[in-house]
Amino acid sequence: MISPHDTDLLTVDALSVDIDAGQRIRPVDSVSFSIAPGQTLALLGESGCGKSMTALALMRLLPAAGRIAGGVVRYHDEDLLALPEARMRQVRGGGMAMIFQEPATSLNPVMTVYRQIEEVLARHRDMRGGQARAEAVRLLSAVGIPDAERRLDEYPFQFSGGMKQRVMIAMALAGDPDLLIADEPTTALDVTLQAQVLDLLAALQASRRMGMLLITHDLGVVARMAQAVAVMYAGEVIEQGDREAFFARPLHPYSRKLFAALPTPAGRERPLETLPGMVPRLDQAFTGCRFAPRCPVAMAHCASRMPSWYEVEGRQVRCHLYDPAGMAAESTTAAGAVPERMPAAPPPATAPLLAVRDLAVHFPVRKGLLKRVCGSVKAVDGISLALSPGRTLALVGESGCGKTTAGKALMQLVRPTGGSVQLAGVEQVGRRGKALRPLRQHVQMVFQDPFASLNPRMRVGDILNEGMAALQIGESAQVRSQRVDSLLSRVGLDPAMRDRYPHAFSGGQRQRIALARALAVSPKVIVCDEPTSALDVSVQAQILNLLRDVQRSEGLAYLFITHNIAVVDYLADDVAVMYLGRIVEQGTREQVLRQPRHPYTRTLLDAVLTTASDADRVDRGAPDEAGPPAVEVPLPSPLNPPSGCHFHPRCARADAVCRAHYPEASATAESGFVRCHHPLG
């Protein structure tokens, strides 16, 4: 292992955590690492590997059944595990701060955002009154929340998922910490805000020499932020070393699999590489390598002998492959290899199953004692979309631009203010009750957060049966029960799992259940709202392969709402770019992603973090065709959008015409269009 130095900000030595849940579970087993001032250590691994539990142990925020089973944690040469709780409360939030993975469950729902930030400012920086409010406004503005002064007095439920994550980051920074533990800090953020937040964190590190433990499944974030990388699997660190060397040549077979699971444009013609099986249960005694059952190069002794640490090229790796005495050992057949079958090409665009024209959703804003309407938030402001059988339309844009609202409005889960939604030529807007049954059957939705969208009090079998029973699908309860088993098998789950509750599944498994629920009523269209945003790359690959397979076999149309451009490049056939409630560019995937015409589209693409070398980057036009970069200004509020072209305050190409008039749609190649007075050449 890497040896700690006297100057390290945080030193963790052989940290182990036990959870007593009827039987002993060890989610963290002899983990060691160190973080120096100004350094970022990235902790990588699948869900269930123990990354978040490691972070909670460092903060001494373990669940009630958890305890530190061994090890030492030293912060500024002070043993955190020996501190009384009163002293530890001073360290939390002040010296060490944490950005939690799920902001919706971490923010107090009955307190305004300002009151929650004020608590941190009062405790750790002795700020109150006007001084605290001014600092809270500065913090919200710094993390990209528009109209920060007004939004301070709102409650968490009034913020989108991405906005709640920004609030969490602002709260963590409020205590002015010198060590930040960031557990998936940019998971719910779009690419432009992700770049802004990462730039903000990098600037804080440079100015204050703040250390950071970055827990993430996004290898692009690691490439952008980390100086050192530690890969964790089944409670253990299995590889650790310098970032540049890690990205140039990962050593452990598990690390290599993480890279192989990344979606790329070149891999569109074949399924993504996946890892077979799951992370092993941690309530067992391990005798050999924990990765051996899933390893494509496992040797006979891997399952029976624990691997030691080996130093390779200045890095450390825990794998028998690097044992000088066993380098020539016979390996088994590769597991989880990429299937050789090639997916069928998507069908050409035909008559749409679902046609959306001039769809608008305006939310009234009320003020005063009488709650009079004083304005409206134009979340969706006249968009048109067409979803065809067997094709995927990706709807991309920044958080708060109206993507999710548009998806809910076309399903009539949010009532449109205006426009038309036609299913097979039949108008759906204005329908109520039983009249919406055809829409409910033929258009289904997979929500962003599978845990929040699954009823925690219902068994999985009952969840899948509920829609079929409500829409009277299936001749009898027995037929529906057989279909439940078939659906679970279809999405790669054991039918025996039907009697379990949602909490007994991992994040990737819950997303599979959400997809099975959507498929239960044999829909023709599925709206996928960020279905892979919270998943690690290996599980994301499984879900993307599943979505593509189901689409090819069932002829489904997908509306894929996402901010992940790499996923769009792999899965989508057509792309629509949304900004402040309106579509600003639309066309085929090749057209929009390779030769973007709108400056906003170019801004999104330029903000994408990638692990590719310069030689492997996708060509999106010569620099002289791209135009000047976007101007960094706060995101405008949908309550009061800019006059003229909404993007003009952020566009370096804007002129008087842009500030005065909203651009009309101009046709581009292959039936696409762009709304820009000065489109890119």
**267-306 tens-digit pLDDT:** 787 888 888 877 888 888 899 999 999 999 999 999 999 9
Q: Return the pLDDT at 624.
A: 42
Host H or E run for residue 26: strand 24-35
Q: Return the pLDDT at 192.
A: 78
Q: For the residues 330-334, what does the mean pLDDT come to?
A: 38
pLDDT class of 164 with cuts at 50, 70, 90: confident
Instruction: Of 391, 419, 392, give the one whose Cα is nearest residue 405.
Output: 419
> Residue 500 has which token pair?
């379990």
More confident residue, 490 or 161: 490
- The alpha carbon of residue 423 and the mean position of all alpha carbons in its chain are separated, in whole angstroms, by 31
> What CA–CA distances, in Å, run from 502 to 173, 281, 324, 461, 497?
34, 17, 46, 10, 10
The rounded distance, in Å, linking the Cα atoms of 97 and 300 is: 45
Q: Return the pLDDT at 12.
A: 96
309-312 and 78-79 strand pairing: unpaired
Residue 368 gets which letter from DSSP? T
pLDDT class of 88 with cuts at 50, 70, 90: very high
Contact 507, 539 (CB under 8 A): yes
pLDDT class of 672 with cuts at 50, 70, 90: very high
Does 674 score more than 90 pLDDT?
yes
**What pLDDT, in 10s, does the model give residues 380-396?**
999 999 999 999 999 99
Residue 522 main-chain phi, psi, to 5 deg:
55, 60
The rounded distance, in Å, linking the Cα atoms of 485 and 493 is: 9
Q: Return the pLDDT at 348.
A: 66
Contact 203, 142 (CB under 8 A): no
The rounded distance, in Å, linking the Cα atoms of 273 and 262 is: 8
Q: Does pTM surpass 0.95?
A: no
Instruction: Of 171, 176, 115, give the one whose Cα is nearest residue 145.
Output: 171
Instruction: Of 234, 222, 235, 220, give the one whose Cα is nearest residue 275.
Output: 234
Q: For the residues 540-563, what does the mean pLDDT come to?
A: 90
The rounded distance, in Å, linking the Cα atoms of 225 and 223 is: 6
Q: Return the pLDDT at 479.
A: 93
Does 621 score more than 80 pLDDT?
no
> Residue 282 has which token pair?
């941690």
For residue 567, give every residue at least 6 positions away whose Cβ sits within 8 Å of its Cβ, in sequence order, or none. Answer: 263, 532, 540, 544, 560
The rounded distance, in Å, linking the Cα atoms of 120 and 26 is: 33
The rounded distance, in Å, linking the Cα atoms of 586 and 597 is: 10
Instruction: Of 240, 230, 236, 276, give the one whose Cα is nearest residue 257.
Output: 276
Contact 308, 280 (CB under 8 A): no
More confident residue, 509 or 513: 513
> Sign of the CA dihedral 112, 115, 120, 121?
positive
Per the listing, tokens 């919406």 go with 436
Contact 180, 211 (CB under 8 A): yes
Q: Which of 39-43, 324-328, 343-347 has the highest mean pLDDT?
A: 39-43
List the single range of 3-12, 420-429, 468-477, 590-599 with lowest mean pLDDT: 3-12
Q: Return the pLDDT at 146.
A: 82
Q: Return the pLDDT at 333.
A: 37
User: What residues does 420 pair with on adjacent strands?
Assistant: 357
Amino acid (one-letter) located at 666 = S
Q: Which of 225-234, 256-265, 329-338, 612-621 has the highest mean pLDDT?
A: 225-234
Question: What angle, 0 to 180 degrees and rounded to 10, lies between the N-to-C axes of helices 507-519 and 460-470?
Answer: 20
The rounded distance, in Å, linking the Cα atoms of 106 and 125 is: 21
Q: How many helices (H) and strands (E) does the chain have?
A: 23, 24
Give the chain's length: 681
Contact 383, 359 (CB under 8 A): yes
The rounded distance, in Å, linking the Cα atoms of 337 and 273 is: 6
> What CA–CA distances, in Å, run from 576 to 563, 583, 650?
12, 6, 20
Contact 356, 385 (CB under 8 A): yes
**534: region left, alpha or beta (phi > 0 left; psi from -120 to 50 alpha):** alpha
Three-class DSSP category at 188: coil
Q: Return the pLDDT at 561.
A: 94
User: What residues does 35 pair with on adjacent strands?
Assistant: 10
Does 617 score more than 50 pLDDT?
no
Three-class DSSP category at 531: coil
Q: Return the pLDDT at 362.
A: 93
Q: Return the pLDDT at 584.
A: 97
Can you list the domains of the chain with their CATH numbers? 109-171 (no CATH), 352-383+393-572 (3.40.50.300), 580-681 (no CATH)
pLDDT class of 673 with cuts at 50, 70, 90: very high
372-387 and 354-367 strand pairing: antiparallel
**316: region left, alpha or beta (phi > 0 left; psi from -120 to 50 alpha):** beta
The rounded distance, in Å, linking the Cα atoms of 181 and 185 is: 9
